[in-house]
């Protein structure tokens, strides 16, 4: 029974991993606009420093959450092998694709 996991059962776990990956990429993409707005609106480098500190804190949290996400199939850290963090599109342990719950449904 445990070996017969289908895409539907993996869906919620993989969806959570994908969402955490999007937080990381979204924060990376938001870096430049955030800094430009913070410094441009206040003409102050100190405001830029505060904005950077807040951004860095959010990014660290998002990266940590993504790194600690567990693979829904093998139960290991999806992106973490020992101390090595690799944002690949497959589980580092069982090679489950990040979209392994999609494209295999007959309907």
Cβ distance to Zn ion smaller for residue 48 or 72: 72
Contact flag: residue 69 with Zn ion (CB under 5 A): no
- CA dist 67 and 36 (Å) reads 29
Instruction: Give the x-and-dash track for 79-98 against Zn ion (CB under 5 A).
Output: ------------x-xx-x--
**Residue 90 CB, nearest approach to Zn ion (Å):** 8
Neighbour-count burial of 107, counting CB atoms closer than 10 A to its CB (0-12 exposed, 13-18 middle, 19+ buried)? exposed
**Binding residues for Zn ion (CB under 5 A):** 71, 73-74, 91, 93-94, 96
């Amino acid at each position: 029974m445990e070996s017969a996991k289908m895409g539907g059962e993996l869906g919620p776990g993989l969806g959570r991993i994908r969402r955490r990956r999007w937080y990381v990429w979204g924060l990376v993409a938001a870096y430049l606009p955030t800094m430009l707005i913070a410094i441009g609106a206040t003409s102050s480098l100190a405001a830029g420093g505060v904005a950077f500190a807040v951004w860095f804190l959010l990014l660290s949290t998002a990266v940590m959450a993504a790194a600690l996400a567990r693979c829904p199939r093998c139960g290991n850290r999806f992106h973490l092998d020992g101390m090595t963090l690799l944002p690949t599109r497959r589980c580092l342990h069982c090679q489950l694709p990040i979209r392994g719950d999609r494209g295999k449904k007959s309907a």
